[in-house]
Amino acid sequence: MPKPRTQTQTYYLLSLGCSKNTVDSESMAQLLGGSGYRGVEEPARAGVLIVNTCGFIGPAKQESVNALRELADAKKPGQLLIAAGCLSQRYGIELTKQVPGLDGIIGTRRWMDIVDLVQRLRARPYPEPIYHLPESAAVGADEHGVSRTAVQGASAYLKIADGCRRPCAFCAIPLIKGTAVSRPIKAVVSEAKRLEARGLKELVLIAQDTTDYGHDLGLKEGLSELLERLTAEAPGIPWIRIMYAFPGYVTDRQIETMARHPQVLHYLDMPLQHGHPATLRRMRRPANIDWVHNTIGKMRSAMPDLAIRSTFIVGYPGETEEEFQTLLDFTAELKFDRLGAFTFSFEPGTPSEPLGDPVSPEVKDERLARLMEQQQRLSLAKNQLQIGKTLNVLVEGKGDGLSLGRSYRDAPEIDGMVIVEGDLPVGEIVPVRITGAMAYDLTGAVDAAPARVVSRPITLAA
């Protein structure tokens, strides 16, 4: 009979994947902290090792498996290794074949049961892995007494919903997370007020699809209603940023709300995935290209300084050179301020599985390079238009007489930076006169005069 393990109230939590996973990691850390566990930086010093995995696409999955294997190889007697997150939800018990030495597996839909799982693992008589993957579980809208945010300096990701009901053929998220579940407006607003009281400067609203916020709460314009409440009840937060908008669901009211409220940044992240209607139809994505042009046109006329970010997939099954060229022309014409791109990742179990993966890796990589080369030129040209302007910059770091920050045009972790001369107060927003432009970043110096936000009243189309 093996000797029962010692209780060591420390944990090491590695968070991989997207900002939504980061929020789940923060919530798990709060639950563990609330049960007397202390977080440590070095895995060797922890009693419990947790990896909050990503299960979205091939490279991200491999990164998660590698991280788990590394911890499993170095695991000491008495240490517990738990795989949490999307990879666990997607592959469940199968994961033990890829990562021998796993003690526990908990799905992304049950992050709130992490303490219970650790205690069950501690109490188990035999070293059999424990799987906590209740099939029926939907992602929880309820809070479990913890915040659904991830604070990074003066900025915080605020999760407003989880799961997704869109039919995108290449995407495993609906498989992993289930359908979209919105958090009650009251819960989101009270969380924002708590962050306001802490002096946070930026709220980054996240979900798989923020434009679908509130549909399950019976709200037709849920995101606009939420923005109205946030700006009315948390006026002290200077910046509110919207990520992950779904094409076809950015409404006139949302545009009007963004343009009317100075707190709501003139920035929108709207993954479009492609620019050719035939490719979009095969992706089971909105294929109305005119809608994209019209809506971006409307947004730019309401907010002339609008910064748009989008994301694209190259090498999707059946993508011809002609379809790819259309994507190049589409992005060249719309001139996105920020653009991310990925090569298609074949994902078993998704609706695109029957299409296989016919585009060769060489062609995928070559198309990715061509798209990003073009975007580098476009981004530089966009950045050069900022020279001479004064932008408000949220200072996030400093050293060697320089400070680093982000303007309204830069979402955390994925967009550019502004490099400013001088030692500026970290966590503060300062007006910066832009003096130089690089492909993705800007340079500047503190400006005495505050930055001007440019908005025009929107005339709603008949």
Q: Which of 113, 196, 209, 396 binds ligand SF4 (CB under 6 A)?
A: 209
Binding span for ligand SF4 by CB under 6 A among 3-11, 163-171, 386-394, 402-410: 163-171
Asked if residue 174 binds ligand SF4 (CB under 6 A), the reply is yes
Asked if residue 168 binds ligand SF4 (CB under 6 A), the reply is yes
Asked if residue 173 binds ligand SF4 (CB under 6 A), the reply is yes
Going by C-alpha positions, the residue among 206, 111, 222 that lies closest to residue 156 is 206
Asked if residue 139 binds ligand SF4 (CB under 6 A), the reply is no
Distance CA 44, CA 74 (A): 8
Q: Which of 155, 208, 254, 343 binds ligand SF4 (CB under 6 A)?
A: 208
Asked if residue 258 binds ligand SF4 (CB under 6 A), the reply is no
Instruction: Give the burial string for 50-60 (b: 16+ CB within 10 Å, else e).
Output: bbbbbbbbeeb
273: which DSSP letter? B
Distance CA 242, CA 210 (A): 7
Strand partners, 49: 12, 81
Q: Which is nearer to ligand SF4, 168 or 242 (CB)?
A: 168
Residue with tokens 């991280």: 67
Q: Which of 57, 81, 99, 171 binds ligand SF4 (CB under 6 A)?
A: 171
Q: Which of 28, 57, 164, 226 binds ligand SF4 (CB under 6 A)?
A: 164
Residue with tokens 């301020």: 337
Residue with tokens 């982000």: 406
Asked if residue 181 binds ligand SF4 (CB under 6 A), the reply is no
For residues 8 to 47, the per-residue mask of contacts with ligand SF4, x marking binding by CB under 6 A and - elsewhere, is ----------------------------------------
**Distance in Å, CB of 273 to ligand SF4, minimum:** 7
Helix (H, G, I), strand (E, B) or coil at 192: helix
Q: Which is nearer to ligand SF4, 168 or 411 (CB)?
A: 168
**Distance in Å, CB of 128 to ligand SF4, minimum:** 34
Asked if residue 54 binds ligand SF4 (CB under 6 A), the reply is no
- Sign of torsion over alpha carbons 370, 374, 376, 377: positive
**Distance in Å, CB of 307 to ligand SF4, minimum:** 21
DSSP string, 230-255: HHHH-TT--EEEE--PPTT---HHHH
Name, in order, each residue with C-beta under 8 angstroms of 1's C-beta and a sequence gap of 6 or more. Answer: 125
Going by C-alpha positions, the residue among 121, 120, 35 that lies closest to residue 78 is 121
Q: What is the dihedral of CA 16, 18, 23, 24, to 10 degrees?
A: -60
Asked if residue 242 binds ligand SF4 (CB under 6 A), the reply is no
Binding site for ligand SF4 (CB under 6 A): 164, 166, 168, 171, 173-174, 208-209, 246
